[in-house]
Chains A and B, each alone.
Chain A
Amino acid sequence: MPAQNQSSGNGLRLFLYWLVVGLPLVWGIWNTVLKLPALFK
């Protein structure tokens, strides 16, 4: 595989892999952050 193709393939995989693990984490953190205002009332 030419170096340029391999590099762009790596970039796309990098984005997809991090998206797959990042989305649930952000969802979980966001739902937790929503509970915080009660502490500061």
Chain B
Amino acid sequence: MGFFDRENTIAPPGYNRWLFPPAALAVHLSIGQAYAFSVFKLPLTKVIGVTASAPGDWTQPSLAWIFSLAIFFLGASAAVFGRWVERVGPRKTMFAAALCFGGGFIISAFGVWWHQLWIIYLGYGVLGGCGLGLGYISPVSTLVKWFPDRPGMATGMAIMGFGGGAFIGSNLSLLLMDRFKSATSTGVGESFVAMGAIYFCFMVFGSLIARVPADDWKPAGYQPATQPGKLITIANVAVDQASRTRQFWFLWVVLCFNVTAGIGILEQASPMIQEMFPGKVTVAAAGGFVALLSLFNMAGRFVWSSLSDYTGRKAIYVIYLLFGAALYCLIPFAGYSGSVIFFVSVCVIILSMYGGGFATIPAYLKDLFGVMQVGAIHGRLLTAWSVAGILGPVLVNYIRQYLKDQGASGVALYAPTMYLMSGLLVIGLICNLLVRPVDERFHFHGDKPRA
């Protein structure tokens, strides 16, 4: 029996369950760096020229594929390896995620030094993306098992780490590039090596301290429900059965459209506020706006998801989607009114609910499908993120460009997209309202398998 085997990670009696969230956070704070990858984009366009792009240097569109590949492989690996993650437990999964994510950085460093973009696609995009997927789902089912009384808060805490990881990632990247840059190098390759090593160590720390509760463990004073609630099952559904239910695909659409809408704003936040308020918002102020959005994105993950433990999951998604749809319609209105404060207030609430939508999904899945394979089911649902990661930026960028070519400017460049996003949220709202308890024929009968 190896050190990383699940059986070796079962917590002894008296183990404090609050010792597990730091393991989850160590992993999510690391992989959240993906949100800050754009910090490298500009320096990567100057690898040959160093101070300015030279002939042969990479272009921004070709570099954009690195992030897109990483997000695609996040969803794909979470879907493919979900059952394996459930079987081997969090310690082995977190270690595998550390190898992939840290290794992805190291391989990418060679891509920079040899100026071969395909090596970065393979390193950060494919291998790093697999690290993102494995790391993202690694703590989910264990958190739900440690906190059966507060699953929304527990998963919200970990997924908040993914949002918070962007703050660490962006500042660390800038710090390292500043340290390593020279007259002949942008310092990106060396920074990749350092970040690979730092993130590997941090994620291994999470792996080493990860513990799963014993099968018969429950929190003091907690009485598991003996009768199903309105939308909370006491049965379990296996991952292969779950993906055959309407409920799974309703939630897939909810997640996909909620993320599409949120990414649409996040991706274009800086140019959007400057173009909507010409002369009023400087580049530095736009940077502050992006930082504020990221803070609300992170906080929303914990606050909204924790709140869902009291309101119920379906109700909180009604708030995200209905209120969100109304707020998207208010964005053009805020732009035409000329009030930056009004515009910023609307956007930060939207971004908090975008984060909330991400963080509440694992608890929603646990309510509908039980805890048995919730991590694997969550993994399959993350394919919605892969789709949204492409759909959101494409919609905003292409519609904006089309309108610009037609002679539009200012608020008019973004208004139709905001109404479109609002429409997507309304479709998500309808899907959420259609969610009913999973039919008994999908329930698992027999001894609990872990995969």
Contact = CB atoms under 8 A, between A and B. Distances in A.
A21 B205 CA distance: 10
Interface stretch (B38-46, B236-244, B285-293): B285-293
Interface in A1-41: 3, 6-7, 10, 13-14, 17-18, 20-21, 24-25, 27-29, 31-33, 35-41
B318 interface: no
Interface in B4-25: 14-16, 18-19, 22-23, 25
B427 interface: no
A31 B22 contact: no
A24 to B, nearest CB: 5
Interface string B145-187: 0000000000000000100111111111000000000000000
A6 B164 CA distance: 32
Contacts, number: 80
B332 to A, nearest CB: 21
Contact of B171 (A13, A14, A28): A28
Contact of B285 (A21, A25, A41): A41
Nearest to A3: B14
B29 interface: yes
A17 B19 contact: yes
B288 A37 contact: yes
B322 interface: no
Contact of A40 (B18, B166, B172, B288): B288
Given A13-B19, A25-B29, A38 B205 contact: no
Contacts of B168: 24-25, 27-28
B29 A36 contact: no
B412 interface: no
Nearest to B164: A25
B424 to A, nearest CB: 28
B171 A36 contact: no
B162 to A, nearest CB: 12
Nearest 6 CB-CB pairings of A with B: A39-B288, A28-B167, A28-B168, A17-B22, A38-B284, A38-B288
Interface of B: 14-16, 18-19, 22-23, 25-26, 29, 161, 164-172, 202, 205, 209, 282, 284-285, 287-289, 291-292, 294-295, 344
8 contacts: A14-B19, A17-B209, A25-B25, A25-B168, A27-B171, A28-B166, A28-B170, A38-B288
Given A17-B19, A28-B168, 20 more contacts: A3-B14, A10-B15, A13-B19, A14-B16, A14-B19, A17-B23, A21-B22, A21-B161, A25-B167, A27-B168, A28-B171, A29-B295, A31-B167, A31-B171, A38-B288, A39-B288, A39-B289, A39-B344, A40-B288, A41-B284
Interface of A: 3, 6-7, 10, 13-14, 17-18, 20-21, 24-25, 27-29, 31-33, 35-41
